Amino acid sequence: MSSEKVHVRSHGCMKPYNWMQVGTWILLPLLLLQFFFFASPLLPLAASIPCSIVVFFFGILTAYKAIKTTITDPADSHLQKKKQGANFTDEEKAEEEARYCHHCESNVNNNAVHCNICHKCIEGYDHHCKWLNNCIGKKNYQLFFDTLVSLNLFLVSQSAVLIGIIVAFFVGWDDGQTSSTEQRAIDWFGANQPNVVIGLNLGFLTIDLISEWLILQLLFFHLSLRRKGLTTYQYIIKLNETNRIKAKHQRQINDRRAHHIKKANEEGNSWEKMKLVVGGWKGCGCIDPIRKEIKEEDEAAKVAAAKAASRR
C-alpha cells in the first residue's frame, strides 16, 4: 500500500466538488424562483395560494432530503468506531475478521465496498451519487430514495401548473379575445410583455418535463431493485456476470459455426454452408443449426444430470 496520505471524505459537502453537484444546487432554487415570479402571478388568487403551497412544500422537502443524504456519512460502522477510538467486543472482533480492507487498513462489514472517490469503505454500498457528491449506502439509502420520490412529486406538481397556465393563456386566441391568464401576463409587474412571460414558463416546463422523465426512470429502477432485494452495485455485478456468460456462449457458437462452415466447404456442401451462414444472422436463430445442436446438447446434459441425481 502507498505511503501517500489519502484525503478521506466524510460527506458530500467536502471537497472536491463536481459540476453535477453544483448544478443541482443551482437548478432547484432556480425552479422555485421561476415558479414564484413567473408562474404563480399568472394564476387566479384562489389557485395561486394552494398551488404555490404544494409546489414549495415538495421543493423544500426535496432540498431537505437531499441535504440530509449529502451530509450523512455512510462509512462502514467499524471504520467509524475505529475513528472514534472505541473498543470492540469479542463478538464484534470475531465478526470483523471476515473482511479486511487494505485501503482503509481496517476490518469492515461483509457487505462493505471501498469507494475510490470517497476513499473509504461504505456499508451496504449502493453507488456513488455524483449529483449529491456522496456515496449511497445502508445509512443514507432511504434518504436518497425519499429524495427521488419528493423530487418526482415536485416536478410533477410544477409541470402540471405550468401546463395549465400555458393552455389557459392561449384560450380565446381563435376568437381574438384576451384570456384572463393572458391579461395577468400583460399586467405582470407592469412590464406588458406577455409573450416573454409565457415563453419563460414554456422554457422551464421543457426543463421540468425532461428532468421528470429522467428522475422517473431512476425512481422505477430503484423500485425494481428494492423489489428484488438488490443494491445498484449488486445489480451491476450481476449484469456484468450475465453479459460475460452470454459473451462466452456467443464465442462458443461463433467458433463452432466457423468449424462447421470450414467442414462444409471441404465437403462441397453449399446448402449446409448457406444454412450455417444465414443462421448466424440476427433474427434467424430459429433456423440456426448450431443453436439447435447446442440446445439439444444442453437438454441431454440436463437429463443425464437428473438421472445421476436420482441414483443417489
Instruction: Tell me the per-residue pLDDT of 71-97, one tens digit each, with 9 for 90 and over.
Output: 999 999 888 887 776 655 555 555 544
Which of 129, 106, 201, 111 minimizes the C-alpha distance to 159? Answer: 201
Confidence of residue 3 (pLDDT cuts 50, 70, 90): very low
CB-based contact 115:135 (threshold 8 Å): yes
Grouping H, G, I as helix, E, B as strand and the rest as coil, residue 215 is helix
- Mean pLDDT for 136-157 is 97
Residue type, 302: K
Q: Which of 20, 128, 24 is nearest to 74 (CA)?
A: 128
Task: Select which of 104, 118, 121, 129 is catalytic.
Answer: 129
CA 291 to chain CA centroid, Å, is 35
Nine-digit cell at 253?
457458437
Is residue 297's pLDDT more than 60?
yes
Is residue 284 part of the annotated active site? The answer reads no
Q: Is 54 helix (H, G, I), strand (E, B) or coil?
A: helix
pTM value surpassing 0.85 = no
